[in-house]
A and B are shown apart, each in its own frame.
Chain A
Amino acid sequence: MTAAAPPAPQPRRRLSVLGKALRNVGLVLGAVIVVAMIAAALGAPWIAPYDPDAQDVLLVLGTPDSVHWFGTDAFGRDVLSRVLWGARVSLYVGFVATAAGVVIGTVIGVISGYYGGIVDRLVVAATDVLLSFPQLIMGLLLVAVLGASLTNLIIAIAVTAVPAFIRMARGSTLAMRERDFVDACRSLGFSDFRIMFVHVLPNILDELVVMASLWLASAIRTESTLAFIGLSVPPPTATWGGIVREGFDNLLDGPWLALFPSLAILAVMIGLNMIGDGLRDASDPRAPQ
């Protein structure tokens, strides 16, 4: 990796990355977890044993048993069903907000790092401003201004993610720009666009994936945090963050309420991190087989 990688052998390298990836146990396991979660989310209408919004005054805060595996909440609603339905919203929020943050942040970061000059300085200044806000406070303010809805929540979380990705992508691009192969690409007459997104981007992709996985969990967590100190998706829509938040009110009477959605977040997090690590390992030529 210390030697300059010429542009030509790129496709071959990526092929071998795929090959290695398939042999990586962690990566496969991670993918299984995440796919299972997504499947559960998509299949919620069929899998969920009860209507997630159906209240029952006789079942308030029921302990987990064979009928309600995850117990019931303060309104007598089935927690398992709510966690399943909540996966739809939470994973959606998590994925879309993170994806938006990653895409916007990376594009701006790569362009800024690649061209430098006035564009770069403006981007750096704007990033500094955004990063000078405590992240949570920024989210809180944005949701308060925009109103509490799914879309606005995604916007608020994405906005907090963008500067971090700008900084990372810009830093990596700056480092890549110094490498010989970018010069080589230029001398071959490749367009800037092609160099940036076909040659530079793949080289920072593994780092991006790992960071994105951490951000995704943080996005889901932010949703519950915002619900705790401010606003979130309006009820009765079930979200993991919302269930955790409601669980907090009843933590001493029914700890399972907060526990199960938290474990769901943990599972997604573990899955994504395994994928991230796996991809990184697979693209790391030094990694032992």
Chain B
Amino acid sequence: MDLGSLLNALILGVSIASIWLIAALGLTIIYGTAGVINMAHGELIMLGAYSSYMLQFYLGLPYLLCIPASFFIVAFVGLVLERGLIRYLYNRPLDTLLATYGVSLVLMQGVRLIFGSDPKYIAAPAAFSSNISLGFASISTFRVVILGVTALLVFGLWLLFYKTRFGVQVRAVMQNKEMAASFGINSGRIYMLTFALGAGLAGVAGSLFGVLAIVLPTMGASYVVQAFLMVVVGGGSLAGSVAASGATGELQSVLAFFTNDTFARFIIFVLIVVFLRFRPQGLFAQAGARR
């Protein structure tokens, strides 16, 4: 084992972290703000991939435009979902888990009915199919793109939540819904918008994963549990999810370097359980209203 390889593993860890993070971002927003356990998050990611595919295949949109377009399409789906179902369940967090599991089945089968069960293909610019070599280390361009998009989104969310009026309102609703209402903040609207935003973020993740891996009706299922673990370990806050994904991504990469991928996962799951045992509120807990 030489230092260069370990360094490579560390760099790769950052990339893996960004993948875990971008899958978890939308969920962080939704769970952090409204406490909704959205089991359909994976299917929203899947919808993002399919909308990119659709836009590219039927409208010939270039891939780079498909990414933001997927955001809006899936955000709209999220909006409909929130208005039609989720808003009736805000005071029953565990029930949101079950209802959204139902939603995930519907979305998965719906997409299968429309597009069939064979995998689809999203074409990315040829420039993305290469790697960047820095002499000692090497990383694929597309991973850098994902990293860049993730960083951009995190920064944007930070601006949105900490530097805008909307962000103040969101945090007010998170801390105390009744109090916020007395200041004229419409919590229903805030929830609706954050849910749509979270869904849109899943859409972005989907259009990226579609290129990195595969576009299938079932593709979402593999992301939802790990995204959830990130959110809970992080404590439902943006910073928490960043930190949790960072730590997990590095661990995954380094452990896989020393052992193998499967065992690395096992260790991560166990570490998550141990961690939550000592810090059930997560890394950076939201200062939400707790009894």
Is chain B found bound to chain A in the same assembly? no
